[in-house]
Amino acid sequence: MTKKKSIFTQEVIVGIIVIALYFIFRGISADFGKYTTFLTLTDISYYYVLMAIGVAFPLITGGVDLSIGTGLICYALAGGYLIRAFSWPTGLAILVSILFGVAIGLANGVLVSIMGLPPFLATLCTCMITRGLGSVVTGSFAVPWPTAKQDNGWFHAIFKMTIVTADGKMKFPLGLVWIILLMLVMQFVLAHTRFGRYTIAIGSNKEAAILSGINVKFYHVMVYAVSGLFAGLASIAYAAYVPTVQPGTGAGMELDAIGGAIVGGVSASGGYGTIYGTVLGAYVIMLLKQGLPYIGLNANMQQIITGFVLIGAVVIDIIKRRAIR
């Protein structure tokens, strides 16, 4: 038996779906086709995609990270609070937000890998903790990060740059460039580094990895640290998108990210996945979420459709696995 390589991998199909969805929505709704809508869509997409890239790693090990949604809010609150209450420079606050994410990720990793908690449970606990922690830090007040027009609001330009053209000023979604770069880097990490190889090995056959003399405990912790790191990065993208960060929110956002990764071909039972698939899958979920209202379907319909899309993705995964065994 030889391996048959079809060019129609799940990743390619999902890529086609993303493009198709975009043009279908454009075709139906004139508003959807506007450049400002495009800008809003990209703004919203960043934090979802970042979360999805991060959570792909625990998913590939056969685990999950439920703490990224509430975590993201918590880290954004912490950073924003440092700027507002203590006049910290924005750069330092951003660093704190990101490191906060890494710390919670490490905690998840220790709970799962060293203490042996099921990933679902461990990250559900940190999900609750970060949700409460965010409110405690700010004394339950909402925190606005500096706006783009304020001096210390320069970080908005990371995601949306203003460029001067012949006919005046124009906004360019620079964040897309970063997303593509991060996607390539993390795909490279997954496919070409020891960390990536071991992430997949843990998801495919953890026992075999242990018996091969791999320090599985260490790498398993790092997997969750990566997820936390990307939740930290997502918190900055979120802060750039919303006018104020509200304590107590964020629950459920992780599900869209996880759903995106799975739509993008990450195996729900671990052992397989790609980062470009994950990013494309996240865009499918994001487009459904943001685009369906433009064609007259309300939020409830969007939830139902997303649910069915997910079932479809998981069924495809199961059929694929059956073919392998």
Partner 1 sequence: MGDVNLNKADDVILTMKGIDKSFPGVHALDHVDLELRRGEVHALMGENGAGKSTLMKVLTGIYTKDSGSIWYEGREVEFHNTHEAQEAGIVIVHQELNMVGDLTVAQNIFIGREFKKGIMIDDKKMIRESRKLFDELKIDIDPKAKMSDLTVGKQQMCEIAKAISHKAKVIIFDEPSAALTEKEIEDLFSIIRDLRAQNLGIIYISHRMDEIKVITDRVTVMRDGAYVGTLITDQCTKEDIINMMVGRVIYEDPKTKSAVPADAPVVLKVEHLNAGKMVQDVSFELHKGEILGFSGLMGAGRTETARALFGADPKQSGDIYINGEKVEINSPEDAVKHGIGYLSEDRKRFGIVVQKSITENSTLATLDQYMSGMFINKAEERKITERYIDELSTKTPGPDQLVVNLSGGNQQKVVIAKWLVRNCDILIFDEPTRGIDVGAKNEIYKLMNRLAAEGKSIIMISSEMTEILRMSDRIVIMCEGRKTGEIRIEEATQEAIMDKATRDIK
* Neighbour tally for 302: CB within 10 Å: 17
Verify binding: residue 322, partner 1, rule CB under 8 A: no
Q: Contact, 14 vs 281, CB < 8 A?
A: yes
Check residue 252 and report its DSSP letter.
T
Q: Residue 140 or residue 215: which is nearer to partner 1 going by CB?
A: 215
**What values do phi and psi take at 188, rounded to 5?**
-65, -40
Q: Contact, 51 vs 254, CB < 8 A?
A: yes
Q: Residue 63 or residue 271: which is nearer to partner 1 going by CB?
A: 271
Q: Residue 29 or residue 204: which is nearer to partner 1 going by CB?
A: 204
Euclidean distance between the first and final Cα of the chain, in Å?
13
With contacts defined by CB under 8 A, name the span among 135-143, 144-152, 200-208, 225-233 that binds partner 1: 200-208
Verify binding: residue 59, partner 1, rule CB under 8 A: no
Binding-site string for partner 1 from residue 257 to residue 286, where x marks contact by CB under 8 A and - marks none: --------------xx--------------
Verify binding: residue 211, partner 1, rule CB under 8 A: yes
Choose, by CB under 8 A, the member of 194, 244, 303, 311 that binds partner 1. Answer: 194
With contacts defined by CB under 8 A, name the span among 52-60, 210-218, 250-258, 299-307 that binds partner 1: 210-218
Q: Residue 150 or residue 269: which is nearer to partner 1 going by CB?
A: 269
Query: Alpha carbon 228 to chain centroid distance?
Result: 10
With contacts defined by CB under 8 A, name the span among 64-72, 86-94, 119-127, 203-211 that binds partner 1: 203-211
Choose, by CB under 8 A, the member of 139, 168, 213, 296 that binds partner 1. Answer: 213
Binding-site string for partner 1 from residue 169 to residue 188, where x marks contact by CB under 8 A and - marks none: -------------------x
Verify binding: residue 7, partner 1, rule CB under 8 A: no
Contacts of 102 (CB under 8 A, 6+ apart): 225, 228, 229, 232
Written as six digits, the tokens of 54 are 């991060």
* Neighbour tally for 23: CB within 10 Å: 12
Verify binding: residue 212, partner 1, rule CB under 8 A: yes
Written as six digits, the tokens of 256 are 């869209």
The residue with tokens 């625990």 is 58
Q: Name the 3-class secondary structure at 79.
A: helix
Nearest distance from C-beta of residue 208 to partner 1, angstroms: 6
With contacts defined by CB under 8 A, name the span among 75-83, 212-220, 245-253, 286-294 that binds partner 1: 212-220
Q: How far is CA 193 from each of CA 53, 198, 273, 279, rounded to the nearest angstrom?
A: 16, 9, 15, 20
CA distance 98 to 279: 20
Nearest distance from C-beta of residue 262 to partner 1, angstroms: 17
| Contact residues: partner 1, CB under 8 A | 1-3, 188, 192-194, 197-198, 200-201, 204-205, 207-215, 271-272, 324-325
